[in-house]
């Protein structure tokens, strides 16, 4: 059994995540103060730790739901992304805030935003913990962004590498991925 922490270099420490998420929550509390119905839709699985810390600092009433994306074929092209798990709550007329772990090429979130827009919400915004802006292929409007990070594969705080490392309380980089396959 190897110790996960020993092989991962910290990029964003837990305290820094907590500080920034507090700021995001304050912004969201302000922006949705007059919302009649706010539904936070988190994208499984990567955003669950972020979601849990974010909503605990929201003072406006929220409903929470989940969706999961899957893509056909090898590449992620528009139209190829579909719901592996759809939201359960009705979204018509609601203020919907989509919560994602990381926006990379942008394909996933772009497709999910289009799918959710078809449900006729009153408003639809995106909140992502991480933004790998240099990797963007399709334009995605990000309303709330935790951190902009360079084009580097990160793990932890919900983000995985072959389903591992999600449990780490910080964002990090696997130092020697070739030593051990996920």
Active site residues: 104
Reference 157, options 174, 173, 170, 148; nearest CA is 170
CB of 54 or CB of 155, closer to ligand IMP? 155
Residue with tokens 């449900």: 119
Binder of residue 104, out of ligand IMP, Mg ion, none (CB less than 5 to 8 A by kind): ligand IMP
Query: What 8-state DSSP symbol labels residue 153?
Result: -
The nearest distance, CB 172 to ligand IMP, in angstroms, is 10
Could you tell me the end-to-end alpha-carbon distance of the chain, in angstroms, rounded to an integer? 13
The nearest distance, CB 86 to ligand IMP, in angstroms, is 17
CB of 67 or CB of 103, closer to ligand IMP? 103
The nearest distance, CB 122 to ligand IMP, in angstroms, is 25
The nearest distance, CB 93 to ligand IMP, in angstroms, is 27
Annotate 17-29 with DSSP letters as a single string.
HHHHHHHHHHHHH
Q: What tokens does 56 get?
A: 């605990």
Q: Report the residue from 38, 46, 127, 155 that binds Mg ion according to the rule CB under 5 A.
A: 46
Residues that bind ligand IMP (CB under 6 A): 46, 76, 100-109, 153-155, 159
**CA-to-CA distance for 37 and 95, rounded, in angstroms?**
6
Where is 66: in which H helix or E strand? strand 62-71
CB of 53 or CB of 101, closer to ligand IMP? 101
CA distances from 17 to 8, 108, 156, 169 (A): 17, 23, 11, 9
CB of 95 or CB of 104, closer to ligand IMP? 104
Does position 156 interact with Mg ion (CB under 5 A)? The reply is: no
**Which residue minimizes CB distance to Mg ion?**
46
- Per CB under 5 A, residues contacting Mg ion are 46
């Amino acid at each position: 059994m190897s110790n996960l922490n020993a092989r991962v270099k910290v990029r964003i420490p837990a305290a820094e995540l907590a500080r920034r998420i507090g700021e995001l929550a304050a912004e969201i509390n302000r922006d949705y103060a007059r919302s009649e119905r706010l539904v936070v839709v988190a994208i499984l699985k990567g955003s669950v730790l972020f979601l849990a810390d974010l909503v605990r600092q929201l003072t406006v009433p929220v409903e929470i739901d989940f969706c999961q994306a899957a893509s056909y074929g090898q590449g992620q092209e528009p139209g190829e992304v579909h719901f592996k798990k759809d939201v359960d709550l009705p979204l018509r007329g609601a203020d919907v805030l989509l919560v994602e772990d990381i926006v990379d090429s942008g394909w996933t979130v772009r497709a999910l935003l289009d799918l959710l827009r078809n449900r006729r919400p009153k408003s639809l915004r995106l909140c992502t913990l991480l933004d790998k802006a240099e990797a963007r292929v399709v334009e995605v409007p990000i309303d709330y962004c935790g951190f902009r990070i360079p084009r580097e594969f990160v793990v932890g705080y919900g983000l995985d590498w072959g389903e591992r490392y999600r449990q780490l309380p910080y964002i990090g980089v696997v130092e020697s991925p070739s030593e051990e396959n996920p």
